[in-house]
Structure 1
């Protein structure tokens, strides 16, 4: 198929050079989308239909649609309607499928298959789920991979949900919520390609390391046009050079700040103190102050954005002048109205009544002018809260504004108050539990006329403003009617590991049900107390031991412990990677700060000093949530080493 595209001669088929360039770009994109992926088989399943519209037909199911030289399908895309029974058919509900076959591969070569006879109770099946279990437990080497061969029925229902509705997925660790979100994007692009190609799609992750980890999933499914970003990158209107303390960030992230900004912006609209006089030839046309006041009041009441109202004001004044011209017997047209709207007198009136406002300068004044903030935060923020968000006095000689990530979100809010933020067709928001209300609003603006897939786990919220409940979060996002689905069947974290981590749930998220693991392997799990003087050496030894096993290894530690561990790994000659970097045969160990562990996974995890991870957070509950995150990064083995006593919830 790729060779056919490469062989296309498009030199003389376009009407002009512009069309030729566009066509060449499209051909290049098609060739890139058909690239081979090493060790990635094109098909992983087969359906033999015994009844229904497809009776007597056999279909091979794969990541991509593949056709032969005559154009007949050889492999059917996993997203096609005919493929859906591969994920949902069962003996209780065979959906007209007589036989379902799963193929097993090793390094890209077919090594096994497993048959399920869904309508013949007398037929002998292969051991149920053996290949599925093997695929789930396959070592994690390199970035995240797709799960098209192992999507479960409850996951498939979310993946194939309609494009019109927003879906929120509350998923325990290892339940595949991130993979579900990415595959949902791929499905929607398949089912609504023209619409989403026009409006755009976006995947939002918590940090750059996470985005590097997931960046190959969609290209492996043939989707190359999905943009990926963090919230901070979305709102990068100002250079961020500072950090807020927890108190300031929580207040700046509160939804009340949206009203403070709205008040501050619209306070710039004034009242006329003189009429507007327009000179046209020998005639002078006068718009009285009371009429100007009525026009301003009407524009304010319409609820349109500040910038749109400012653009409408000169036309409204010009219309008032044209009415007077018509009454005087003249016959002005649209050109006359536009000329009046550009008149110097009208421009001067608009500038005095409705001055232009720069969003960044508005936020700068609000955060640096105590009186201005007090005026517009009156009744919304307490005196202590106002004091918390004000910038400290700059040191002598420092002229640049100390913008923080939370300030950038405020600038984004102000920008939208001035002019509307363009909306995309679909947005996937991962690790959503860590967003502030103002960050939810920033994301919601980017899917205001589209839909969203919201992914998160309330138990993994580790910011001071983390989400208390999905209903509140979805309201801030602008999607209060979104369906909330819960995934509790874990496919990644071993049974013993998830049971151990779930001891923390009563303290961090008592409303959530503990996750269950479908993995047959209980996992290689150990908790080892070590004398303080020997802790670092014991951690290095545990890493060395983990490297004797197949797959990736993650050493997760609190920030305070990183310098000592870095020095020890260097001294021991153990090469290590940064989070999100792809492993190699000679470098399979990743040194992971606890603050960046969320969303990542490793075959073996060595967890250093849980008490230090808890103590590294502003409060105990947040610290225990951070610990819950780090405990659930292991796919096969977890070794916990500690010199300080474990938190009481784990010690019990």
Structure 2
């Protein structure tokens, strides 16, 4: 008998497990049939070639979304409902919907409304559920189950399988947490589309996973709308994106853009003094850019003389000035320029009509494209690129002073000016901070296309100008903003989430704090939290549900190479991934000392799927490893102005054990 038709009197554990395995096999077979059916569909009936291509792309996405990942449980929970209504009495909750050949549901998508009870139901509020069953897996094999009665009152039951799943060693990219979402996380995940949710999440609280699962939930709930407008995930670097890249496909979402701020604003990498980048990242430069752009419009001194055959039509200079004044500042620069040509052409048509002619729209378009009109428009309202405006701003002290007014001090203006100006905007070398300025100017020239939903991770590290660039891509106010103020490592790191939301343009966003961790052991988290009074004194200390006794080891290393090799060998004797996190300047030396051990060095562009990785400290943010070995904390602190915050990040990457090796004295906060 299929498991979805189980009789309630089956109480023998072996029989129950066998029945559940039978249901799993039936569900996998049904999923294969669904995928084969999707493969068999043809786009030929769509009519024209363009429609066929669009339909084929949709069919390909459908096939990809129905992939069965053999090592990933197809369902992870079951609800036995206590009410008799139109819904099935037994519901299996999994990563996607699966039905048999008679359209009977074998697995219900975790995002469906009826599945909410799996995460939210409790003995005090059973939500019409009599029994919640969790399943344990080894690889793709169902090996255990655990029942929790919900209709008998009492205290919530501790779940051994849930704890084991949270603590399960990992290797390779980040996994989804769909089987272990907690009630407070579920509330965030199921927030409405039109809300901006900001999550302040301590290490190990799952804030990144929550953001990704919210994106998956919204795509399920608002599929048609978001398919048109798009969803984008913005992470701190490409290594981080590689680390999270498997989460959404495992949930059946294969068409979500994942990028970095540099991927949006341009991969500009010219070196720059942090003091200069800080001024460029300040929101006060936004009005400076606006003025710098509109200062390129000059007062007209001539009218327009349009000749057609023997007839001449003149628009006086004062009329041109009136048109320019009426357009200036009331529209974006590019459309204003186009409107100027059309307004001038319209005045010419008025002259034609005054002479008894009957010009139509085609005549107006021809006049707008005529040489006299184009010459005047170019003289008064020149065509510009963001690079041209920035080149002039950073090369011409008088122009910068006029654009800056009182928004920037004389000292700040001096910082922005190039010591050796580039000959042209084409030969200029731009920094990462310049990318946000060019994006701001680009939006002033032509409107930036908006997205349906935006997920921004590590948002506390973004400058005000970078946040403005992201905010204009999500003018609908539908965004998920993730981060931890204690992990801010840039010179312009935010001090409050109200500040971040204001720069994004989402002042009404709701800020939610996650302080209860599930991944980082308590012993490790408490050790790292000693740094909090120095890096984020206003934040509450994070807490962990996992005691992690014996998970922390702090060792002097008089012989660094020998101590490191010994620590790595100890980690290799245990199950799970290993991250050796070192000061950036020490990466090559540490890699050399580990030359006899099979390892890889993490690069900025990708995350290596390898058990033993050497990781520069500046790339550790957002990543997790079962066993972390931190080399020379004092050097990590000394490497940058917010080095203590960087060390806090580094010390909170471990999910099983943390070993700290030091030759120098530890920072005072850790002693």
TM-score over 0.5 for the alignment?
yes
Q: Which of 144, 165, 168 does residue 112 from structure 1 map onto?
A: 144
User: Unpaired segments of 5 or more residues in structure 1?
Assistant: none
Query: For residues 420 and 506 of structure 1, what CA distance do their matches in structure 2 show?
Result: 43
Q: 2:638 is matched with which residue?
A: 615
Query: For residues 454 and 470 of structure 2, what CA distance do their matches in structure 1 show?
Result: 8
Alpha-carbon displacement from aligned partner over 1:387-435 (angstroms, at most 9, x marks no partner): 2222332799x99422111112211111111111111100100000100
Q: 2:226 is matched with which residue?
A: 196
Query: For residues 469 and 12 of structure 1, what CA distance do their matches in structure 2 show?
Result: 55
Q: 1:159 to 1:7 in 2, by over 3 A?
A: closer
TM-score of the two chains, using structure 1 as the length reference? 0.94
Alpha-carbon displacement from aligned partner over 1:169-212 (angstroms, at most 9, x marks no partner): 00000000000000000000000000000001100000010000
Contact 2:390 2:438 in 1 (8 A): yes
Contact 1:494 1:523 in 2 (8 A): no
Contact 1:423 1:450 in 2 (8 A): no
Q: 2:28 is matched with which residue?
A: none
Alpha-carbon displacement from aligned partner over 1:99-146 (angstroms, at most 9, x marks no partner): 111111111111111111111249x99x62211100000002110000
Is 1:382 paired with 2:409? yes
Q: 1:544 is matched with which residue?
A: 569
Q: 1:96 is matched with which residue?
A: 128
Is 1:497 paired with 2:524? yes
Q: 1:360 is matched with which residue?
A: 387
Q: 1:12 to 1:646 in 2, by over 3 A?
A: closer
Query: For residues 62 and 35 of structure 1, what CA distance do their matches in structure 2 show?
Result: 14
| Matched position secondary structure for 2:576 | coil
Q: 1:362 to 1:52 in 2, by over 3 A?
A: farther
Alpha-carbon displacement from aligned partner over 1:186-244 (angstroms, at most 9, x marks no partner): 000000000000001100000010000000000000101100100011011xx634221
Q: 1:474 to 1:399 in 2, by over 3 A?
A: closer
Alpha-carbon displacement from aligned partner over 1:447-493 (angstroms, at most 9, x marks no partner): 12351100000000000011111111111111111111110110110
Q: 2:278 is matched with which residue?
A: 250
Contact 1:264 1:376 in 2 (8 A): yes
Query: For residues 28 and 399 of structure 1, what CA distance do their matches in structure 2 show?
Result: 41
Q: 1:595 is matched with which residue?
A: 618
Deviation at 1:372, TM superposition (A): 2.5
Is 1:638 paired with 2:658? yes
User: Unpaired segments of 5 or more residues in structure 2?
Assistant: 1-32
Give the number of equivalent residue pairs.
Answer: 637
| Matched position secondary structure for 1:13 | helix
Query: For residues 449 and 3 of structure 1, what CA distance do their matches in structure 2 show?
Result: 35
Q: 1:235 is matched with which residue?
A: 265
Q: Which of 291, 296, 319 does residue 263 from structure 1 map onto?
A: 291
Deviation at 1:295, TM superposition (A): 0.9
| Matched position secondary structure for 2:45 | coil
Query: For residues 24 and 301 of structure 1, what CA distance do their matches in structure 2 show?
Result: 45
Contact 2:80 2:91 in 1 (8 A): yes
Q: 2:458 is matched with which residue?
A: 431
Q: 1:299 to 1:550 in 2, by over 3 A?
A: same
Query: For residues 22 and 604 of structure 1, what CA distance do their matches in structure 2 show?
Result: 46
Query: For residues 568 and 538 of structure 1, what CA distance do their matches in structure 2 show?
Result: 10
User: RMSD across aligned C-alpha pairs, in angstroms?
Assistant: 2.1
Query: For residues 9 and 193 of structure 1, what CA distance do their matches in structure 2 show?
Result: 21
Q: Which of 549, 553, 564 does residue 526 from structure 1 map onto?
A: 553
Q: 1:340 to 1:280 in 2, by over 3 A?
A: same
Query: For residues 283 and 88 of structure 2, what CA distance do their matches in structure 1 show?
Result: 58
Q: 1:272 is matched with which residue?
A: 300
Q: 2:420 is matched with which residue?
A: 393
| Matched position secondary structure for 2:428 | coil
Contact 2:194 2:476 in 1 (8 A): no
Query: For residues 601 and 611 of structure 2, what CA distance do their matches in structure 1 show?
Result: 8
Residues 2-401 of structure 1: pairs in structure 2 closer than 5 A? 2-5=34-37, 8=40, 10=42, 12-51=44-83, 53=85, 57-121=89-153, 128-236=158-266, 240-302=268-330, 304-393=331-420, 400-401=427-428
- Higher mean C-alpha deviation, range 483-492 or range 406-415: 406-415
Query: For residues 610 and 231 of structure 1, what CA distance do their matches in structure 2 show?
Result: 28
Deviation at 1:4, TM superposition (A): 3.2
Q: Which of 601, 621, 625 does residue 645 from structure 2 map onto?
A: 625
Q: 1:7 to 1:63 in 2, by over 3 A?
A: closer
Query: For residues 423 and 642 of structure 1, what CA distance do their matches in structure 2 show?
Result: 49
Alpha-carbon displacement from aligned partner over 1:49-72 (angstroms, at most 9, x marks no partner): 112746771100000100111121
Contact 1:253 1:438 in 2 (8 A): yes
Residues 469-484 of structure 1: pairs in structure 2 closer than 5 A? 469-484=496-511
